[in-house]
């Protein structure tokens, strides 16, 4: 019996050695969309940040979101987190600051398009002509010159937090003409309802990194749109806090439409 065990161990070791010299297939690594909390938590007014920005950046160099206490709109661009506050100005927050809601991904461009004279509503209507299916996630990156850009931000909230739809009812809005810059955001499929914003959700950062915000409307003069296909999705949820007592049984589609508009 003992001999058998030794023999078995030898065979195992030998097999392991064999495996080491065998060529492994190239590791397939799809880019992962990493999301912090869910949109229906934000709609309920759960604005306490819990994931440090320093950690968020390790999951992807491009994305959007907001900050602790809803203190502005987030644009993550080329590994840098930009904070567009309610005064319309852009700040660089510390890595120790936190987010209650964000989504980031690494930029791996699958398709690119040059675009001329297109409005946000046309892009939304025609977006299906740019991708192979509406049923996966996309990182959306547009660099261009805009004849018109309409954005908003949100002011920092104090507790007790109000629902997002009440906050955005009096949001500061900004309009710019003939401005160059970058758009970052995501397209999420219809089945992501409640988890993220379905369809397009885009944020803007001007080329001088002084202006930006959540996009309400734009007219692109000329530019390039890059899309990264995202087939891998990871959710990071808060440990405790308001989230554990939240009510996720309510359909908040109408609230979200008000917020987005």
Give the residue with the Cβ less far from Zn ion, 141 or 214. Answer: 214
At a CB cut-off of 8 Å and minimum separation 6, what does 176 contact? 146, 148, 149, 150, 151, 206, 211
Closest C-alpha among 136, 213, 228 to residue 182: 213
Place of tokens 């955005």: 168
Of residues 60-79, which lie at the interface with Zn ion (CB under 5 A)? none
Shortest distance, position 33 Cβ to Zn ion, whole Å: 16
Give the residue with the Cβ less far from Zn ion, 59 or 204. Answer: 204
> How far is residue 40 from each of residues 57, 128, 209, 236, measured CA to CA in Å?
23, 25, 30, 14
Question: Count residues contacting Zn ion (CB under 5 A)?
Answer: 1
Residue nearest to Zn ion (CB): 214
Shortest distance, position 154 Cβ to Zn ion, whole Å: 9
Give the end-to-end CA distance of the chain in Å, rounded to a whole number.
Answer: 75
Measured on CA atoms in the order 171, 209, 116, 108, is the torsion positive or negative? Answer: negative
Shortest distance, position 185 Cβ to Zn ion, whole Å: 8
Examine residue 85 and tell whether it contacts Zn ion (CB under 5 A).
no
Give the residue with the Cβ less far from Zn ion, 103 or 227. Answer: 103
CB 65 within 8 A of CB 34: no
At a CB cut-off of 8 Å and minimum separation 6, what does 251 contact? none
Of residues 203-242, which lie at the interface with Zn ion (CB under 5 A)? 214
Q: What's the token pair of residue 215?
A: 């996009």
Give dist(CA 32, CA 72) in Å, integer.
25
Give the residue with the Cβ less far from Zn ion, 72 or 106. Answer: 72
Measured on CA atoms in the order 114, 106, 146, 136, is the torsion positive or negative? Answer: positive
Shortest distance, position 201 Cβ to Zn ion, whole Å: 6
Give the residue with the Cβ less far from Zn ion, 117 or 173. Answer: 173
Give the residue with the Cβ less far from Zn ion, 214 or 252. Answer: 214
Shortest distance, position 20 Cβ to Zn ion, whole Å: 49
Shortest distance, position 16 Cβ to Zn ion, whole Å: 51
Give the residue with the Cβ less far from Zn ion, 85 or 214. Answer: 214
Q: Per-residue string for binding with Zn ion, 168-207, x by CB under 5 A?
A: ----------------------------------------
Shortest distance, position 28 Cβ to Zn ion, whole Å: 32
Neighbours of 56 (CB within 10 A): 24
Name the site residues for Zn ion (rule: CB under 5 A).
214
């Amino acid at each position: 019996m003992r001999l058998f065990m030794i023999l078995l161990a030898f065979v195992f070791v030998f097999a392991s050695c064999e495996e080491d010299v065998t060529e492994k297939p190239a590791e397939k690594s799809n880019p992962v969309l990493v999301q912090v909390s869910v949109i229906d938590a934000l709609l309920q007014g759960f604005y306490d940040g819990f994931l440090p920005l320093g950690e968020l950046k390790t999951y992807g160099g491009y994305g959007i979101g907001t900050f602790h206490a809803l203190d502005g709109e987030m644009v993550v661009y080329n590994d840098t987190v930009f904070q567009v506050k309610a005064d319309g100005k852009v700040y660089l927050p510390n890595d120790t600051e936190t987010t209650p809601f964000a989504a980031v991904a690494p930029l791996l461009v699958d398709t690119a398009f040059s675009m001329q004279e297109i409005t946000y509503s046309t892009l939304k209507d025609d977006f299906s002509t740019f991708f192979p299916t509406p049923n996966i996630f996309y990182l959306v990156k547009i660099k261009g010159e805009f004849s018109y850009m309409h954005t908003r931000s949100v002011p920092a909230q104090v507790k007790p937090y109000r629902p997002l739809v009440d906050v955005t009812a009096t949001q500061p809005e900004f309009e710019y003409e003939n401005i160059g810059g970058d758009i970052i955001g995501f397209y999420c499929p219809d089945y992501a309802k409640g988890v993220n914003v379905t369809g397009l959700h885009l944020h803007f950062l001007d080329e001088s990194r002084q202006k930006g915000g959540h996009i309400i409307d734009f007219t692109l003069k000329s530019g390039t749109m890059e899309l990264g296909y995202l087939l891998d999705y990871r959710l990071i949820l808060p440990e405790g806090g308001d989230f554990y007592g939240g009510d996720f049984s309510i359909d908040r589609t109408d609230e979200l439409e008000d917020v987005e508009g």
